[in-house]
Structure 1
Amino acid sequence: MLSQLSHIQCNPNDLERYFAQCKEFRLSGVAEPFWQNWPLTDPANFLMLEPLHHWYWKFWDHDVQWCKNALSTPELDFHYSVLHPIVGMRHFKDGIMALKQVTGRAQRDMQCFMVAVIGGAASREVVIAVCALMDFQYLAQAPRITSIIQDRIKATLAEFHNHKDKITDEGLQRGAESGSTLDHWFNPKLELMQSVAPSISELGAPVQWSANMTEHAHIKVIKEPASTMNHQNYDTQICRYLDRVKRCWLFKTATCLSALSDANNTHDQDLATEDDGAEDGDMNMADDEDAMVILKDIWSSRHSVPDLFGIAERLRTTLPGSVPQPVHTFSSGATALHINHQPSIKHISIDKAAELFDILDL
């Protein structure tokens, strides 16, 4: 990049000419990068990939567009619309191409179905290329990455490059604005993927750099406070709102800990009366455990994850006739299944089902 900048013989203040010359080298137009005089530095090492914006948005901007061009928009939407609803995942009953706002959560749910949706409709090489990118993203998001997983990450990316030519051969790679077919792969997000495996050895698992938490915090610290105000002086009112919320949170924590301290003092006095030989270490350990319990109760998430294996086991061991049959939650080996109690389509004729799902010999 610095070498390319040195070839631009133009005053940066002459914006029109300068940006025109930068475009020839595919540069953004920054005349003096902040890191240019830093010794022993390389942006490819300290500027990490961020899964939410680099991988999920790459999936939406490119993978989905390839699949749309391969199947057509109505066909891709139809394939998503007939998928059976799954508890805990979004059901795209109207397809995906007409969505007005696509969040990271929606993109993750789309990825879970994409390979199955295009299987049998797109060409084999295109399916392999899309599947390889899915494998790459899932492997790279592992919380712990060993040398074996690192090699698999490299292999999946290499598999994509081995089959990507079919995407350009079929004209699936098209310009976002012009819509014309592209025969090149000048794609910054795909180029950044080359840095994933080498950066893992130096900076650890990429998932630790995800912006999911900070993006989600935007709801709590911006959107929710803004919804309670009169739409004037946003900065001042939001800061005041957050300050008051924090004070209330700290007050609740202090009162809970104070109540716990009083209860522990009474409990310690009772123990001292009953058994003077109790050791201080055991009592302090008990105090610490009680404090952790109450802090966990204050700060932990209120969302509970259902134990489908436990539910299935309880249903299996209940007395015959005590629960309705057939059961909707059951397990088989290392897999637990939870079936919807209410089907998404309650009444439909055979002829209508054959037409809706395109099963002519139903």
Structure 2
Amino acid sequence: MSDPRGDLCMIHTPLVVWIADYPEQLLITCTASKCSLISLAVSAQFGDPFPHSPQTTCTISNPCDIPLFYKTFELYWMDWDDAYALYQWHNFFFDHLITWSINIMGGAELNHQLSALQPWVGVHHWVNGHQDLEKLLSALIVGTVPNDVACALCAITEFIFQAQNLFLYEETLHSLTEALHEFYHHKASIITAGGCHGKNELMQHVTQSTCVMGAPYQWSSDITKHCHITHVKRPYHMTNHKDFYGQCCRFLDRQENYNSSSSTQF
């Protein structure tokens, strides 16, 4: 990297976070399929209403016991004290809560409830896509799903909103824990009503992880996902799809020079 004087310096930055999907996380941590990445729970225990012991470098498979392919490499995380996985709450809401609601009340009824909302003149609705639905779902489902189901969905929605706070204090963590307890208290009603057919386990470790690593919001992938749109997808659609890497680099270089000259003139 170039310093303020123009001298080139070799920089070695520490790895702080690795964004990966579930199959990649299994590879990175050498964890068996259908096992938790952050606890000692297996798939049959994912629905338990309590957190299992955390997964650490001491409990993850020893490199000596891994197949020969892994023996060839030194696992970079072996000197880390803890191993945790991060989760995207917006995706969780869309993949699970909305699916549960549709399974119970029907997609047509949910659309009807949305169409009945009073429009605000001059306000751009659904600016953030399905993230805006998080603020409305609790009100939309009341009266169209059993009361226990509504209590469960409201509780988990409260948990998701609280977990996204910039700062989590003792009171916030207590509120998170209580919301999660309420969700598990009414969780059976979702299954009975035919809404939920799967299991989830990562929510149990938010409080514990926050005490060790800070608020989950700092690990959000929203910024990198947005950069993927502005720095990869948009430039790609502007090219002829040939020699994309070269065209993309030239596009970003010109865009950076343009922004730099515009700020200088300002």
* Aligned residue in 1 for 2:186: 163
Indicate the SS of the match to 2:201.
Answer: helix
Aligned counterpart, 1:5: none
**What TM-score, normalized by structure 2, do the two folds share?**
0.67
Could you tell me which residue of structure 1 aligns to residue 81 of structure 2? 41
Question: 2:97, 2:222 → 1: CA distance?
Answer: 21
Does 2:98 align with 1:64? yes
- Runs of at least 5 residues in structure 1 that lack an aligned partner in the other structure: 1-20, 92-104, 175-184, 257-297, 299-362
Q: How high is the TM-score relative to the length of structure 1?
A: 0.51
Matched, 1:124 2:147: yes
Other-structure match for 2:56: none
Q: 1:22 to 1:195 in 2, by over 3 A?
A: closer
The one-letter code sitting in structure 2 at the alignment partner of 1:222 is: V
For 1:74 and 1:172, the matched residues in 2 are separated by 15
Give the Cα–Cα distance (whole angstroms) in 2 for the partners of residues 78 and 167 of structure 1.
21
Q: In the alignment, which residue of structure 2 is the partner of 1:236? A: 246
Aligned amino acid, residue 186 of structure 2? H
Query: 1:39 offset after TM fit, Å?
Result: 4.3
Q: Determine the structure 1 residue equivalent to 2:212.
A: 202
CA drift of 1:196 comes to 0.7
Partner of 2:132: 109
User: How far did residue 36 of structure 1 move?
Assistant: 9.3
Which of 124-133 and 243-252 deviates more? 243-252
Pair 1:232–1:39, CA change in 2 (3 A):
closer
> Letter of the aligned partner of 2:252 in structure 1?
L
Q: 1:55 aligns with which of 89, 100, 114?
A: 89
Letter in 1 for 2:177: K
* Corresponding residue for residue 351 of structure 1: none
**Cα distance change of structure 1 residues 141 and 23 upon mapping to structure 2, 3 Å threshold:** closer
Q: For residue 134 of structure 1, what is the amino acid of its counterpart?
A: T
Could you tell me how far 1:42 is from its partner in structure 2? 2.8
Within 5 Å, give how 1:132-147 maps onto structure 2: 132-147=155-170
Residue identity in the other structure for 2:140: V
Please say which of residues 34-43 and 199-208 is displaced more in the overlay: 34-43
The DSSP-based 3-state class of the residue aligned with 2:97 is helix
Q: How far apart in 2 are the matches of 1:36 and 1:223? A: 31
For 2:78 and 2:105, locate their aligned partners in 1 and report how far apart those are by CA, in whole Å: 49
Rounded to whole Å, the distance in 2 between the matches of 1:161 and 1:120 is 21
Instruction: Determine the C-alpha separation between the residues in 1 that align with 2:33 and 2:194.
Output: 28
Partners of 2:160 and 2:34 lie apart in 1 by 30
Per the alignment, residue 90 of structure 1 pairs with 126
Deviation at 1:191, TM superposition (A): 0.7
Structure 1 CA distance for aligned equivalents of residues 219 and 34 of structure 2? 30
Give 3-state SS (helix, strand or coil) of 2:78's partner.
coil
SS of the residue 1:164 aligns to: helix
Q: How many residues align?
A: 202
- Bigger radius of gyration, 1 or 2? 1
Q: In 2, distance between residues paired with 1:224 and 1:80?
A: 31
Superimposed CA distance per residue, residues 75-99 of structure 1 (whole angstroms, 9 cap, x where no aligned partner) = 12211122122424329xxxxxxxx
Identity of aligned residues (%): 30
Structure with greater contact order relative to length (CA < 8 Å, sep ≥ 6): 2
Q: Within 2, Cα distance between the matches of 1:252 and 1:68?
A: 49
Question: Cα RMSD between the aligned structures?
Answer: 2.8
Indicate how the Cα distance of structure 1 residues 22 and 40 shifts in structure 2: closer, same or farther if over 3 A, else same: closer
| CA-CA distance at 1:23 after TM superposition | 6.1
Q: CA deviation at 1:228?
A: 2.7
**Could you say which residue in structure 2 is the equivalent of 1:76?**
110
Distance (Å, rounded) in 2 between the aligned partners of 1:248 and 1:79 = 46
- CA distance in 2 between counterparts of 1:37 and 1:230 reads 41
Distance 1:125 1:209 in 2: 33
Residues 1:22 and 1:140: Cα distance change in structure 2 (over 3 Å): closer
In structure 2, stretches of 5+ residues that fail to align are: 1-31, 36-41, 44-65
Alignment of 1:1-362 (within 5 A): 38-39=78-79, 41-44=81-84, 47=85, 49-50=86-87, 54-86=88-120, 87-90=123-126, 105-174=128-197, 185=198, 187=199, 190-253=200-263, 255-256=264-265
- Answer with 239-248 or 219-228: which moved more: 219-228
